Amino acid sequence: MFDVAVIGGGVIGGAVARELVKYQLNVCILEKQADVAMGQSRANSGIVHAGFDAVSGSLKAKFNVLGNQMMEDLSKELGVKFKRNGSLVVAFSQEEMNTLSVLKERGEKNGVSGLTIINRERLVELEPNISKNAVGALLAPTGGIICPYKLTIALIGNAMDNGATLYTDFDVAKIQKDGENFILLDKTERKVNAKIIINCAGIYSQEIANLAGDYSFTVGGRKGEYILLDRECQGFVNSTLFFTPTEKGKGILVSPTVDGNIILGPTAQVVDDKDVTTTVGGLNMVKEKAGEMCENIAWDKTITSFAGTRAFCDRHDFVIEESKAVKGLINCAGIESPGLTSAPAIGKFVVEELVSKHFDLRANENFNGKREADDFFKELNTEQKNELIKKEPSYGRIICRCERITEGEIVRAVTTNPRATNVDAVKRRTRAGMGRCQGGFCQIYVAEIISRELGLSLESVTKSGGESYILRGKTK
Ligand SMILES: Cc1cc2nc3c(=O)[nH]c(=O)nc-3n(C[C@H](O)[C@H](O)[C@H](O)COP(=O)(O)OP(=O)(O)OC[C@H]3O[C@@H](n4cnc5c(N)ncnc54)[C@H](O)[C@@H]3O)c2cc1C
């Protein structure tokens, strides 16, 4: 019997689980996919928002500003790269300049520091590639960038290092009550018992609440499509560039990623089936809009496109509360943007304010919040690298030529919590396959390492779990 079962291995489930293991609690995380960070937390803009967007007094505003403040220390502890590159909301008319004053006022009310309105001259100094039509901007120096799936992997890995159990391929399909406790069953009738459950199922958080008997909110999907440019374009923009919001929404952004690529998007399209496919129409819209924000975008340096689906809730705010209908069910539902930014603050609030009502929380004296960076090898100097290669020669063998990722780094990804068991899971942890050739050369070598390290046949190694087999069988 677990004390707490967290449903969903996204950034919210991860942040909650890591807070839980700071106490003497027996915790599990149930994730329906083959790896963690496969939902919204895989495909988003990776912006740590400053906090001027959300309506003052909302949970979004509160957790955004707190989460932003916590991100610096958290990312250091977990060895995840985070950069305060600053955000600019760009105005293209006097009317939009007036809107910037409203945003500034709202941001200050929400507790955002350092907000300044700048003129075109200063804007061009900061962003030489800004459109000729831009007239000024709101500068938010506390805005930042982070890799969303690396943060999620690190949160869940650290929770596991501190005792949490992760069940992947566990698609919660039934929730039953056994007295005060819960029985969670997946589609194959695998069973987990828990005293309380925390619903962190992202765009599926309504389904989980409904399975438990709570019908108090709905969650729909709103798709966003992106284009990613090669790291050769590093420096094209320095800050995260937003359009001035209108009634239709925030529009697309142009931003560096923390790993040095340029990200452009997302669109916003309501979808019924929570689909995450890219479309010609969507990507053309990204190109058209981004072209209005910046001059000279190097579209020939596009390396990939992708889409993510936001969980938008009929309450127009995050749902973070114990269910009134089902005692022991805590919902973290409808967590759309700024959910990534808010995750550290949501995790703390859920445990300290909601879980604490069910348990006498006693500190876990053995808790260690530190985690070695997944990309620690890249940060070593030549001497340190040579030293390590002498001890562990696999760090001297390059597998991914585009990103220069070694066998040692891949072995580490496959053997460290939460273990990468497929090719894309290795890619998210190490960047092997994320460069120009997008895995064309290294995919099969990565599959061989997974097969060897996990004792699986090469044919059974998948691209991203499920039926996504790479090899069908031997030809000779
Ligand atoms: C296009 C887009 C752009 C965004 N940009 C930003 C941004 O720049 N900054 C920001 O702060 N926020 C941003 N967000 C919001 C942010 O990504 C989300 O708020 C955050 O990732 C939500 O995390 P989550 O853990 O709630 O959901 P998810 O990451 O979706 O995790 C839910 C998990 O639950 C699992 N699951 C679902 N059903 C079941 C089941 N039955 N059994 C077991 N597991 C299940 C899923 O597989 C998934 O892994 C963006 C979102 C999108 C989609």
- Residue 251's pLDDT band (cuts 50, 70, 90): confident
| One domain for residues 215 and 238 | no
Identify whether 49 is a catalytic site residue.
yes
| One domain for residues 228 and 140 | yes
| Catalytic hit among 18, 49, 222, 419 | 49
Query: Which atom belonging to ligand 1 lies closest to the Cα atom of 13?
Result: 25
404 vs 248, higher pLDDT: 404
What average pLDDT does range 209-234 have in this prediction?
Answer: 95
| One domain for residues 271 and 142 | yes
Q: Which of 340, 342, 424 to mutate to test the pocket of ligand 1 (most atoms within 8 A of CB)?
A: 340
Q: Distance (Å, rounded) from C-alpha 382 to C-alpha 145?
A: 28
With respect to residue 474, please indicate whether it lies within any of the assigned structural domains: no
**Per-residue pLDDT, 137:** 98
Give residues with Cβ within 8 angstroms of 196, minimum separation 6.
3, 4, 5, 182, 328, 329, 330, 355, 358
| One domain for residues 442 and 332 | no
> Strand 302-313 relative to strand 269-271: parallel, antiparallel, unpaired?
unpaired
CA-to-CA separations, 143 to 71, 78, 116, 346, in angstroms, rounded? 11, 20, 13, 18
Query: Which atom belonging to ligand 1 lies closest to the Cα atom of 253?
Result: 8
Q: Name the domain boundary from 272, 288, 310.
A: 310
Q: What is the pLDDT of residues 388-403, one digit of tens each?
A: 999 999 999 999 988 8
**Per-residue pLDDT, 271:** 79
Would you mind telling me the total number of residues written for the chain in this entry?
476
Number of domain units in the chain: 3
| One domain for residues 253 and 299 | yes
CA-to-CA separations, 111 to 61, 62, 102, in angstroms, rounded? 9, 9, 14
| One domain for residues 181 and 292 | no
The helix (run of H) or strand (run of E) holding residue 305 is strand 302-313
With respect to residue 160, please indicate whether it lies within any of the assigned structural domains: yes
Which residue's CA is the nearest one to ligand 1's atom 37? 201
**Per-residue pLDDT, 28:** 98
Average model confidence (pLDDT) for the chain?
A: 95
| Nearest alpha carbon to residue 2 among 20, 22, 19 | 20
Query: Which atom belonging to ligand 1 lies closest to the Cα atom of 39?
Result: 30
| One domain for residues 119 and 225 | yes
C-beta separation of 154 from 374 below 8 A: yes
C-beta separation of 447 from 457 below 8 A: no
| One domain for residues 301 and 256 | yes
- Residue 359's pLDDT band (cuts 50, 70, 90): very high
Q: Inform me whether the pLDDT recorded for 434 exceeds 90.
A: no
Query: In terms of residue numbers, what domain contains 383?
Result: 376-460
Q: Inform me whether the pLDDT recorded for 247 exceeds 80.
A: no
Specify which residues 192 forms β-bridges with.
184
With respect to residue 261, please indicate whether it lies within any of the assigned structural domains: yes
Q: What is the chain's alpha carbon radius of gyration, rounded to the nearest angstrom?
A: 22
**Per-residue pLDDT, 202:** 96
Report how far ligand 1's centroid is from the alpha carbon of 32 (Å): 13
With respect to residue 245, please indicate whether it lies within any of the assigned structural domains: yes
What average pLDDT does range 448-475 have in this prediction?
Answer: 91
Q: Distance (Å, rounded) from C-alpha 311 to C-alpha 298?
A: 32
C-beta separation of 238 from 256 below 8 A: yes
**Per-residue pLDDT, 442:** 87
With respect to residue 53, please indicate whether it lies within any of the assigned structural domains: no
Q: pTM score, two decimals?
A: 0.96
Q: Inform me whether the pLDDT recorded for 203 exceeds 90.
A: yes
With respect to residue 69, please indicate whether it lies within any of the assigned structural domains: no
DSSP per-residue codes, 334-356: ---TTHHHHHHHHHHHIIIIIGG
